[in-house]
Chain A
Amino acid sequence: EAGVAQSPRYKIIEKRQSVAFWCNPISGHATLYWYQQILGQGPKLLIQFQNNGVVDDSQLPKDRFSAERLKGVDSTLKIQPAKLEDSAVYLCASSSRVPGLAFFGQGTRLTVV
């Protein structure tokens, strides 16, 4: 069974630029999560999808972050414009049911300079 795929693995951008991350969950998993992990901290949930719909985006900075999940499968997370404090690892995870076992991708390490 293929795992959660994320790309790119690494990204370096200047502040005020835009960036997008992509996630392909495990086939058949209805729940998709995006987490932000700042160095030295535990992951923090940014947004959770159930199929196409958003069930939790309470900690998503909506003035600069956006996310979508097309056709209930792949998802993209965008930051525009980026700030220095957005430097972090962005993790995507999926689960077949809730509450259920969540599987994580390898993450995208973003550095904003």
Chain B
Amino acid sequence: GIQVEQSPPDLILQEGANSTLRCNFSDSVNNLQWFHQNPWGQLINLFYIPSGTKQNGRLSATTVATERYSLLYISSSQTTDSGVYFCAVVGGGTSYGKLTFGQGTILTVHP
């Protein structure tokens, strides 16, 4: 099946700093989502972005499907941005939409 690798595994920032999280995948994809897992464990949708670029406030994401990677940008980070960020994909070879997750990036933002 498709492999998803996220980097870096851990990231520590001071409030106000910018960051870039990366997601590499091993095959073509039909779907790519970025999630933020809050301290209570819920996965919050950030972006649905199988290709192209999207922006939502301080967050933006870019997926270059032909090169098999996606980037999540966080600008002017806040302590509330802390948590685990997951990338999840649906491989192009699957017909039924199985979401495969990476291992996540743990982001800690200090005040």
Contacts and interface: CB of A to CB of B under 8 A. Distances in A.
A42 B103 contact: yes
B101 A42 contact: yes
B90 to A, nearest CB: 4
B98 A41 contact: no
Interface residues of A, number: 29
Given A89-B41, A98-B90, A45 B96 contact: no
Contacts of A98: 90, 95-97
Given A42-B86, A98-B90, A103 B97 contact: no
Interface string B22-48: 000000001101010000111101001
Contacts of B100: 45
Contacts of B42: 104-107
A55 B41 contact: no
B104 to A, nearest CB: 5
Interface of B: 4, 30-31, 33, 35, 40-43, 45, 48, 50, 86, 88, 90, 95-104
